[in-house]
Amino acid sequence: MPVDFEDRRLQPILEKVEAGVRLSYDDGIAMYRSSDILALGYMANLVRERLHGSTTYFNVNRHINPTDVCVASCRLCAFGKKAKDPKAYTMSLEQVWETAGIGWSEAVTEFHIVGGLHPELTLDWYCQMLRGLKERFPQVHLKAFTMVEVGYLAQRTKISIRETLQRLKDAGVDSLPGGGAETRFFATECAASSATTN
Ligand code: SF4
């Protein structure tokens, strides 16, 4: 039965997905800009079932949130707090490493590490945190930092995104989480603030 998407711009992409044709950069942009979440999910599931049938994979992870202090104020967020908020927290390196060990078992395969955009924690601090985790848990995959955190660290360190990613990778990051819907917000805020200050 033919499938009709609400976002008609995705229809040609569906044809490619069904035919197993590699998608183009423009297809990626069209999907990024679309809010037709059901269409996107439908196409993703077609590929998933083609590759893996009805088998589903999952991992056993532990979440580490080194700080909830954040300079941004995303409307969607129930996590970030301003530095002066008495309920805000920032872990020391030792606390991060200790938190990683809480509830530890050999079944844990990943640490999922995300936090706020802290105005003072440096890229070096995060690299030290990552190295410490790798030393203590060498077999655990480190999935760390949404793109908005990477962008903010790059901006504060005054180096490129590429170099920031390289330094995080060298320190132990194995992959980045898929989150970061706030990235667009942050980019808009940065553009607005640099327009005001220039
Ligand atoms: S950047 Fe992340 S932690 Fe900060 S306010 Fe936005 S969603 Fe919350």
pTM: 0.74
Q: Whose CA is nearest to atom 7 of ligand 1?
A: 77
Q: What is the pLDDT of residue 161?
A: 95
The residue type of 66 is: P
Nearest partner of 36 among 8, 1, 2, 76, judged by Cα: 8
Q: What is the pLDDT of residue 192?
A: 47
90 three-class SS: strand
**Which is more confident, 103 or 5?**
5
* pLDDT tens, position by position, 6-23: 999 999 999 999 999 999
For the CA of 149, the nearest atom of ligand 1: 1
Location of structure tokens 């890229």: 123
Average pLDDT (106-112) is: 94
- Across the chain, what does the average pLDDT equal? 90
pLDDT band at 195; cut points 50, 70, 90: very low
Nearest partner of 181 among 144, 143, 147, 151, judged by Cα: 147
- Domain range list for the chain: 8-52, 61-195
For the CA of 70, the nearest atom of ligand 1: 4
Ligand 1 centroid to 182 CA: how many Å?
Answer: 7
- By most ligand atoms within 8 Å of CB, the mutation choice from 77, 85, 150, 152 for ligand 1 is 77
Average pLDDT (154-164) is: 97
- By most ligand atoms within 8 Å of CB, the mutation choice from 70, 150, 186 for ligand 1 is 70
Residue 197 has pLDDT above 50, yes or no: no
d(CA 164, CA 26): 27
DSSP-assigned states of every residue in 35-52: --HHHHHHHHHHHHHHHH
Q: Class for domain 61-195, per CATH?
A: alpha beta
Task: List ligand 1's pocket residues with C-beta within 6 A.
Answer: 70, 72-74, 77, 79-80, 116-117, 148, 182
pLDDT band at 3; cut points 50, 70, 90: confident
Q: Six-digit token pair at 90?
A: 């920032």
Residue 143 has pLDDT above 50, yes or no: yes
pLDDT band at 75; cut points 50, 70, 90: confident
Residue 29 has pLDDT above 60, yes or no: yes
Q: What is the pLDDT of residue 2?
A: 75
